[in-house]
Chains A and B, each alone.
Chain A
Amino acid sequence: MKSAATRPRRRKPTLAIWKFASCDGCQLSLLDCEDELLDLANEVEIAHFREATPVTLRGPYDVSLVDGSITTPQDAERVLAVRRVSKFLVTLGACATAGGIQALRNFKDVKEFASLVYARPEYIQTLEKSTAISSHIRVDFELRGCPVNKYQLLEVIRAFLHGRKPNIPTYSVCMECKRRGNVCVMVAQGIPCLGPVTQDGCGGALCPSYQRGCYGCFGPMETPNTASLSAWWRRLGARDEDLVRAFRAFNAGAEAFRKESEAHEK
C-alpha cells in the first residue's frame, strides 16, 4: 500500500469523500466518529465532503472515499473524473463494492421495469444495472458493509496515514462470533445464518449477538462455500425462494452471492 508515510510529512494529506447512489450511511459513518472527528480534521485536510462542507480544495487528493454505486450515465462519467484526481481510492460499503441493494434491479428485465416505474421517463436517466465502482475504475481498497463499520473506516484511514496494512480481516463472521463467546444461533436454535459465508467486520457478529441469523451485509468472505451452506439451510427448512432472497439482498451483486441466488431461481 502506497501511503502518506512514503513522503515527508510537510503537508497534511488530503481526504475527499464522493457520493454516488446510496443511502448516505457510509459517508455518514465518518461523521459518526464523534470522538475522533475533530482529531481527524487535524491529521488530514478534508478537501471535499459535500455532506459536511461546501468548501472544496483543489485535487489531486491523497485519499478518496467513494460511497455509492453507479446507476446513471452521468455518474459513470463522474467516477472516471474522481479516479483521475485520486491517488489512493477506497470504496465504502456494499453499494460501492457490490452495487448495493439497488442492484436488485439487475435481476429484472430492465426495460420493462423502467416503463413500469416512470410516468415521465424522459426526465430520468438511469442505467440498466447498478454496478460497483470497481467495474468502472481501478480501486485501491474496498471496505465492506451495509453500512461500513466506522471503526474499520478509521482503521483504514489510520493505516493509510502510517503506512500500515489495515487490519481488515476477510475471513468469516463466525470467527468473531466465536471470539465473542456467542452461542451459534444456527447450531443451538436452528436459525439460518449467513455468517459462515459472510465476511467479518460488522463489529462482533452483530446479528447472532442479537439472536438472529447474519444476513450478509458485509458480503462474501474470502472463500465462501455458499452451496454447502445452502444445503444445510434446506435441512433447516429454507425453501428455494428463501435462499434466493437471502443471497439477493444488500450484496446481491457480489459474485459469489449472485451465483448462489441464481442457482436457486426456478
Chain B
Amino acid sequence: MKSDRPRGRTIRVDHLARVEGEGGLYIKVKGSQVLEVKLNIFEPPRFFEAFLRGRDFREAPDITARICGICPVAYQMSAVHALENALGVQVGGALRNLRRLLYCGEWIESHALHVTLLHAPDFLGYPDGIRMAREHPQAVRRGLGLKKAGNEIVTVLGGREIHPINVRVGGFYRVPSRQELQPLEEKLKRARDAALEMVRWTAKLNFPELEQSYEFVTLRHPTEYPLNEGRIVSSSGLDISAAEYEDHFAEEQAPHSNALHSTLRGRAAYLVGPLARYNLNFERLSPLAREAARAAGLGPTCRNPFQSIVVRSVEILYACDEALRLISEYEPPERAFVEVEPRPSSGAACTEAPRGLLYHRYRIAADGSIVEAKIVPPTSQNQKTIEGDLLSFVESHLGLAKDELQASCEQVVRNYDPCISCATHFLTLELEKD
C-alpha cells in the first residue's frame, strides 16, 4: 500500500503511520497557493453513542473505555464524572486522589509512547522508534521505562493497563492498601529522574519554525494542574462549566472523514491538549516541572506545535511528581465507592485526556438506563486546527523538496498525537436533530 505518485503539487499520504488509528492526508497546492488540506479519517465508525442507549449507566465506564485503547482511563473518567454530576454524587477525599493517580498513570504511559516511539523519530530522522533504538538505545529504553512506570500505576489501580476493570460510578470496586501502592514509589522516583532527562533530551531536538496563534482550550482548576476537574477556559477568555459546553461548541461532519469536527461557535478553530494545558496552567505545574520547563527553554507560553514534544515530557515529569505526592499522602478510604442510585437526570463532564479535553454527557432514565449519550474526544476538536497548521506550514515551506515536505506534513500531524480511534466513536445525536 504505497502512496500514489502525487501529480503536480499534490501531497497525499494514504495511510498515516505512527498515529493511533487509520487516517490519511491530502493537500492540494497550486503555484504558491494551498488550495485544499484534508485530514482524512477512514477508521471505520463504531457508533458508541448509539449503542450506549439502553445500556445501564453503570456500564458506561467499561463501554466507553473501548472507544480507545490508548486512553481508556480518560473515557472512564469523563464517564464517571458526567454520571456522578447527573446523579448528584460527590466523590472526594482519597477516592478522588486515587482517580487522579490513575489518570497520572495514563498520562505517563500515553505521553511516553508518543514522545519516544511516535514523535521523536521525526526529529532524528528515523522511520520508527525501533530503528531509532539501534542508535539511540538509551533514549528509547528510557522512554519505554517511563511508559512502563505509567502502565504500572494503571495496572495496580485498574487491574490491567488497557481497559482497566476497577473504575465504577461512585469510585472503585476495590481500593488498594498502602502496601500495594508502596512498590510504585521507588519506581516512580526513578521515573521522575528519567522524565527530567527526557525533558532535557527533547529540548535539544531541532524544531522547525512555526508560531501559531491558536485559541487554546483547556480545563483550569483553582489549585491543581487539570486532570479530572476544572472549568473550561480558553486563551480568548472563555470560562464555562462542562454543563455549558454544548452552548459554545458545535460539531460538523466533514465529507472526507468518518469523524466529526468540533468548532467553537462563532469563532475559528481551537486547540486542546498539552500545549493548551501548559499555556493556561503553567503556574499550576509542580515546582520541579516548572523549573525543568524553564531550563529546557520553554517560557510560560509555547506556540510552536513541534515543541509539544517537550511539553509532553514536562507533563510526564509533572505526572510522576504528582503521582508520588498522591501515593505518599494516601490513606485507604473506608469504602471503595459512594453508593449511587439511578434517577431520571442528565449530566456532563470534561476531563483532560492525554490528548486534551474529553467531553461526555448522559441522560439517564429512572431505571438507570442511558437514554442519550454524547461524547466529544480531543482529536475531533483538534482536527480543524491540524488542517490549519498544515495549511500555514505548507504555505511557508513550499520551497522544500517534495519528499521532505511530505515527511514534514506528516510530522505536523503527529505533533498533535491525534488519536483516530477516538475520533471515530462517531456522533449521532446532533445529527438526529437535523
Direct contact of A and B (CB under 8 A): yes
Contact B18 A29 (CB under 8 A): no
Residue B22 interfacial (CB < 8 Å): yes
Bound Cα distance A36, B113 (Å): 15
Could you say which of A34, A52, A242 contacts B18, with CB atoms under 8 Å apart? Answer: A52
Q: In the complex, are the beta carbons of A209 and B159 less than 8 A apart?
A: yes
Question: Distance in Å from the Cβ of A115 to the closest Cβ of chain B?
Answer: 10
Q: Is the CB of B59 within 8 A of A34?
A: no
Whether B20 and A51, one on each chain, are in contact in the complex, defined by CB atoms closer than 8 angstroms, is yes
Residues of A contacting B128 with CB < 8 Å?
A: 52-55
Which residue on A lies nearest to B254, using beta carbons?
A: A123
Given A102-B46, A206-B160, A211-B173, is A54 in contact with B67 using a C-beta cutoff of 8 Å?
A: no
Contact B47 A117 (CB under 8 A): yes
Query: Which residues B40-78 have CB closer than 8 A to chain A?
Result: 43-48, 50-51, 55-56, 59, 62-63, 66-70, 72
Contact A34 B163 (CB under 8 A): no
* Residues of chain A within 8 A of B144, CB atoms compared: 34-35, 37-38
Partner of A202, one of B21, B140, B145, B160: B160
Is A187 part of the contact surface with B, judged by Cβ < 8 Å?
Answer: no
B69–A119 contact, CB under 8 A? no
Mark interface residues in B108-123 (1 if CB within 8 Å of A CB, else 0).
0000010001100000
- Enumerate chain A residues within 8 angstroms of B432, measured Cβ to Cβ: 116-117
| Nearest chain A residue, comparing its CB with the CB of B109 | A32
The distance from the CB of A246 to the nearest CB of chain B, in whole angstroms, is 10
When the two chains form their complex, are residues A207 and B113 in contact, meaning their CB atoms are under 8 A apart?
no
Q: A104 to B63: give the CA distance in the assembly, Å.
A: 11
> Does A240 sit within 8 A of B, measured CB to CB?
no
With both chains docked as a complex, state the minimum distance between the C-beta of B256 and any C-beta of chain A, in angstroms: 8
CB-defined contacts of B117 to chain A, threshold 8 Å:
31, 52
Contact of A21 with B by CB under 8 A:
yes
Q: Does chain B have a CB within 8 A of A220? A: no
Q: A256 near B: Cβ within 8 Å?
A: no
Contacts A21-B46, A22-B69, A24-B421 given; indicate if A147 touches B162 (C-beta within 8 A): yes
* Contact (Cβ within 8 A) A21 B44: yes
Residues 117-174 (chain B) with a chain A CB within 8 angstroms: 117-118, 127-131, 133, 137, 140-141, 144-145, 147-148, 151, 159-163, 165-166, 168, 172-174
Q: Which of A11-63 contact B (CB under 8 A)?
A: 19-26, 28-29, 31-32, 34-35, 37-38, 41, 46, 50-56
> In the assembled complex, which residues on chain A have CB atoms less than 8 Å from the CB atom of B268?
none
A38 CB to nearest chain B CB (Å): 6
User: In the complex, how many residue pairs between chain A and chain B have their CB atoms under 8 Å apart?
Assistant: 179
From B69, B130, B133, B410, give the contact of A28 (CB < 8 A). Answer: B69
Q: Which residue of A lies closest to B431 (CB)?
A: A119
Question: Cβ of B258: which chain A residues have Cβ within 8 Å of it?
Answer: 123-124
Check A51–B18 contact: CB distance below 8 A. Answer: yes
Min C-beta distance of A199 to chain B, whole Å: 16
CB-nearest residue of chain A relative to B51? A104
- Find out whether the CB atom of A72 lies under 8 angstroms from the CB atom of B44: yes
A105: chain B residues within 8 A (beta carbon): 47, 50-51
Q: How far is the CB of A144 from chain B (nearest CB, A)?
A: 14
Interface residues on A, range: 35 or more
The answer to the question of B266 belonging to the interface, with a C-beta cut-off of 8 Å to chain A, is no
**With A46-B130, A51-B19: A120-B255 Cβ-Cβ less than 8 Å:** yes
A23→B67 contact, CB < 8 A:
yes
Whether A206 pairs with B44 at a CB distance below 8 angstroms is: no
Chain A contacts of B1 at CB under 8 A?
56
Is A161 positioned at the interface, with any CB of B under 8 Å from its CB? no
Range for the number of chain B residues in contact with chain A: 35 or more
Are B46 and A245 in contact, with the CB atoms below 8 A?
no
A261 to chain B, nearest CB (A): 13
> Inside 8 A of A55's CB, which chain B residues have their CB?
127-128, 131
Chain B neighbourhood of A171, CB < 8 A: none
Contact A41 B163 (CB under 8 A): no
Considering the complex, which residues of chain A in the window 71-108 have a beta carbon less than 8 Å from any beta carbon of chain B? 71-72, 75, 100-102, 104-105, 108
B426 at the interface (CB under 8 A from A): yes
Chain A residues with CB under 8 Å of B4's CB are none
Which residues of A lie under 8 Å from residue B62 when comparing CB positions? Answer: 215, 249
Across the interface, which residues of B come within 8 angstroms of A75, CB to CB?
44
Residue of B nearest to A127 (CB): B44
**A206 partner residues in chain B, CB cutoff 8 A:** 159-160, 165
CB distance from B286 to the nearest CB of A (A): 25
CB distance from A25 to the nearest CB of B (A): 2
A113, CB-defined interface residue at 8 Å: yes
Asked if B336 is at the interface (CB within 8 A of a chain A CB), the reply is yes
CA distance A146 to B65 in the complex (A): 10
Q: Are A126 and B127 closer than 8 Å at their CB atoms? A: no
Give min CB distance, B98 to chain A, whole Å.
13
Given A19-B22, A34-B147, also A41-B130 (CB < 8 A): yes
Nearest Cβ on chain A to B259's Cβ, whole angstroms:
10
State whether the Cβ of A250 lies closer than 8 Å to any Cβ in chain B.
yes
B253 interfacial contact with A, CB 8 Å: yes
Can you name 13 extra interface pairs (CB under 8 A) apart from A23-B67, A52-B18?
A21-B44, A23-B69, A25-B163, A26-B69, A31-B147, A32-B162, A50-B17, A50-B22, A56-B1, A71-B45, A101-B63, A123-B256, A210-B173
Sample 30 A-B pairs with CB under 8 A, ordered by A number.
A23-B69, A25-B66, A25-B162, A26-B69, A37-B130, A37-B144, A50-B15, A51-B17, A51-B20, A52-B118, A54-B18, A101-B46, A102-B46, A117-B426, A117-B431, A120-B255, A123-B257, A146-B163, A147-B69, A147-B160, A150-B161, A206-B159, A209-B159, A210-B159, A210-B166, A210-B173, A211-B173, A211-B174, A215-B62, A215-B165
Q: Which residues of B contact A (CB under 8 A)?
A: 1, 15-22, 43-48, 50-51, 55-56, 59, 62-63, 66-70, 72, 113, 117-118, 127-131, 133, 137, 140-141, 144-145, 147-148, 151, 159-163, 165-166, 168, 172-174, 253, 255-258, 336, 410, 421, 426, 428, 431-432, 434
